[in-house]
Structure 1
């Protein structure tokens, strides 16, 4: 079977698809990835066939909340969806896939699949994409485009997400579990490895992703300034172009570029992050508690869910002095209730079907 995976331009949208891509390859299927050339993808096998897809990048929204953000979101995403639709048509013509697997924000591949009547599934890579309000927001974008392409209306979103691959556990959402009926939950992360713990010298992993909405340097400065006053092992992952400056200023810390964090997660006692869902999922599925400082979009939801399930704490950016941030992070390390809650979540997540079952379920719709 020929499988085309497609993602919108953003590492947080691309990277959750990699375990699914690897599972398709392990099952002997012919796979290709349609993503922007500008996206760096740590952990992606260089032998995977890669097609260049528009749009090249996702712009930064100037409105964190409110009606202005909604209007901007609809306009920009509609423009990106159309550019993606046109480039995906060309990729389909060359690769001739039997099925398309796309991330939840990759609307161009969805439209191309509908027009050409190719089976497709949606990988719900963000927490909010599993919730019913997400479907309604998606309709704001997709319905005018569907109409312009001569496709019938889709009021329930049943064609938009005929099979939603959700990469977390339903209990992540706690009391706000307004889950749409097309979601099927899987755990594609490896089980937690036994970790050697050193309660006297905790290990902190700081993952700040690549999103331009995060003030990477200032955030890293506050974390490092606060935590390096204590006897703490600290590893910080920032965009590649910011690494050199931090290496010179903080020689006692391990400063990474935009990298595959899997090896570093094995040794972490806590993960400090802005709350991108990929990092949240990776930490929780390994039983590692978290500390989140959200900046926009679903990061606020992720922070609320983490605190509600007891697997970590959240601290607003405005309250993040170096001392307050360090004290809050070390509280997550030292109080066993956070670690226990994260471990319990990991056990629940790994009771879900894994990547092999996910691939079999996707293939079954053809």
Structure 2
């Protein structure tokens, strides 16, 4: 079977699809990924080499800039109009036509798209094949979901394509971290979340600490919100808790900022989250979905200082679940880290959520369900709802 994946060309949107891609390839399927200049650098070394890269779509900076031009807003702190442009109108205007062209030539049997992606659903509707939506964290609230949905309607009308609902919602978010009032946009199919790991190749080289007996804290602000001044302040604040600090530089910082603190602070360039979590007692982060789910899949509690995008929501849900302490400034970090390191209830709750994640179906099981659903659809048989399998 030919399975086409589609995602926003950014780490936090693409990497949650990686386990499903690997499972599909291991199951003997042919896997393609829609993208262009923005996807190729992310895929090299980080995705299964069997993934075929298709298309010549825009890089994420291009449609962020286009959305900002149309609305006059800040893409890192989007209002509803900006959300609709980033994920809906601007994205389809830049990528929709070429994606449809490449997909028709590739002839997929089904499409798997991450929750914020609107290109994959367009392709599925245009080709008349089923598609499945994959969450990247806690479910999208009704307001932004509706804004994005409305924003794509004009493009569909111009293209003469009728929108088709997703056949399922593949959900990596454990119930403990989901908003109690959230309603799945399609039949829910849980999948086991994991921290990002490289399928093959050499692991990243991580720094060593002079005193490995001290607790190690991972400090990561992700790939979007890492700024040198903020990272330096946070690094010093975490180190003042008298711990070893392993801090990620993100993508925008080329050299480690100067920092102070009682503990030992070491920086590392981009490395897979799964490897970064080895030997870590606590995670200090901004609260991106990949970081939160990755940390919890390994039973690591968190101290979160949200900066924007989905981070405030993720942080609030993690605090409500009893797996994180949320702070509002660097001045609060040292005390929060000290409390979190010695809070047995926090660590026990993180372990419980990790067990909940581990009991969800593996990506291979989920892909078997999706392909069976597509085969039924292709044969014109009555399709059993995926959640009923």
Following the alignment from structure 2 to structure 1, what is the Cα–Cα distance between the partners of residues 166 and 130?
A: 11
Q: CA deviation at 1:252?
A: 4.3
* Contiguous gaps of at least 5 residues in structure 1: 191-197
- TM-score of the two chains, using structure 2 as the length reference: 0.81
Match of 2:46 in 1: 43
Residues 209 and 239 in structure 1, CA contact (< 8 A), matched pair in contact too: yes
Q: 1:187 aligns with which of 164, 184, 192?
A: 192
Listed as ranges, the matches of 1:7-18 within 5 Å are 7-18=7-18
CA distance in 1, matches of 2:58, 2:138: 23
Q: Deviations over 1:37-92 (max 9, x none)?
A: 234436323453222442211427644899x8112222343011232211212321
Name the residue aligned to 1:357. Answer: 365
Name the residue aligned to 1:331.
Answer: 339
Structure 1 CA distance, aligned partners of 2:310 and 2:131?
A: 25
* Superposition deviation, residue 336 in structure 1: 1.0
Matches within 5 A, 1:50-199: 50-58=53-61, 59=64, 62-63=73-74, 69-76=79-86, 77-129=88-140, 131-152=141-162, 159-189=164-194
1:314 aligns with 2:326: yes
Q: Give 1:274 deviation, angstroms.
A: 1.0
Q: Alignment partner of 2:314: what SS?
A: helix
Secondary structure in 2 matching 1:87: helix
Return 108-117 or 230-239, whichever deviates more.
230-239
Contact 1:292 1:315 (8 Å CA) reproduced: yes
Counterpart for residue 286 of structure 1:
298
* In structure 2, distance between residues paired with 1:290 and 1:205: 9
Give the secondary structure class of the aligned counterpart of 1:245. Answer: coil
Equivalent-residue separation in structure 2 for 1:35 and 1:119 (angstroms): 20
2:287 counterpart residue number: 275
Provide, for residues 10-38 of structure 1, a one-character-per-residue CA deviation record: whole Å limited to 9, x for no partner: 11100101011011111111112223423
SS in 2 for 1:204: strand
Q: How many residues align?
A: 345
Evaluate the alpha carbon distance shift between residue 145 and residue 12 of structure 1 in structure 2; reply closer, same or farther with a 3 A threshold.
Answer: same
Q: Supply the distance in 2 between the matched residues of 1:268 and 1:6 (Cα, whole angstroms).
A: 32
State the alpha-carbon separation in 2 of the partners of residues 110 and 338 from structure 1.
Answer: 39
CA contact (8 A) 2:238 2:334 kept: yes
Cross-structure match for 2:204: none
> What is the CA RMSD across the aligned residues, in angstroms?
2.6
